[in-house]
Amino acid sequence: MSGISIFESMKTILCYGDSNTWGFNPATQARFPRNVRWPGVLRRELGDGYEIVEEGLCGRTTTSDDPIEPHRSGLAYLPPCIESHKPLHLVILMLGTNDLKLRFSLTAQDIARGAGCLIHAIKKSETGADGNPPAILLISPPPLAKLTELAEMFEGGTEKSARLARRFSEIAQLHECHFLDAGKVIQSSEKDGIHFEASEHQKLGIAVATRVKSIFATNN
C-alpha cells in the first residue's frame, strides 16, 4: 500500500479572478450558488483528486489601485494568497475586465502587461510542489457585450476588450505559460454587458476542465 495519503496526492488549483470568478449574477446582483459558478463546474468536471480554491473578488484589477474601491489590486494580494494556499499545482488567472474602466485609462496592451506582472510574481515564487513555482493558465476574459447601467464607467472599454485576447496570448507566449481565450467559449451577458449568465459559467467551467486535464497530462 502506498505511503502517500490521498491529501498529499491531490492537485490544488487556485482560481484567481474578479466578479466573474466570484460568481456575480447579472440578473440579481447576488452570487451564483457554488455548483453554478465556473470554478464549481470545474470542480465537478475534474472529479476526485483535485482541490479547487476559489479566489474571486468583485472589482479586482490586474495591478491598478482603484481610487473608488480600495484593496482591488490583484498584484498586491497575489503573493500572500499563493503563500497561504501552497503547495499549488496550478494557478488560473482570469483578470482584465475591471482594467477596462475609464478611470484607469489603460490600453489593451497595458492590461496584458499587468497580467504579465502577475505571471512573473507566480513564477518567481516557491509555492508549487517541492518549492518550484506552480503551473499557470492565463485566461483572457470575453469581450464586453452591450453595456447598460455600467456604460459610463466602462466608456471606451468595449473596443479595447475585443483586443485583449490577442494581447493576452502574446503575454502567455512571452512568459511560457498556458493560455485560454474565454471569448471563443462564452459571451458576456446582455443584461449588463460584463458578467456571465449561469449557462456561460457552465460552458467555461467545462472548457477550463478540458484544458486543465491537458496541462496535467502533459506535465506527468
Give the integer Cα–Cα distance in Å for 88 and 60. 21
Which residue do the cell numbers 498529499 mark?
8
Confidence at 220, pLDDT banded by 50, 70, 90: low
Could you state, in order of their start, the residue ranges of all structural domains in the chain?
6-219
Q: What is the pLDDT of residue 8?
A: 57
Q: For residue 196, give the 3-state DSSP assignment.
A: coil
Rg (alpha carbons) of the chain, rounded to whole number:
17
Task: Quick: pLDDT tens for 45-99.
Answer: 999 999 999 999 999 999 999 999 999 999 999 999 999 999 999 999 999 999 9
Q: Which CATH architecture has domain 6-219?
A: 3-Layer(aba) Sandwich (3.40)
Give the integer Cα–Cα distance in Å for 186 and 216. 24
Beta-bridge partner residues of 51: 12
Q: Which of 139, 151, 152, 148 is nearest to 189 (CA)?
A: 148
Give the integer Cα–Cα distance in Å for 163 and 61. 17
pTM for this one?
A: 0.95
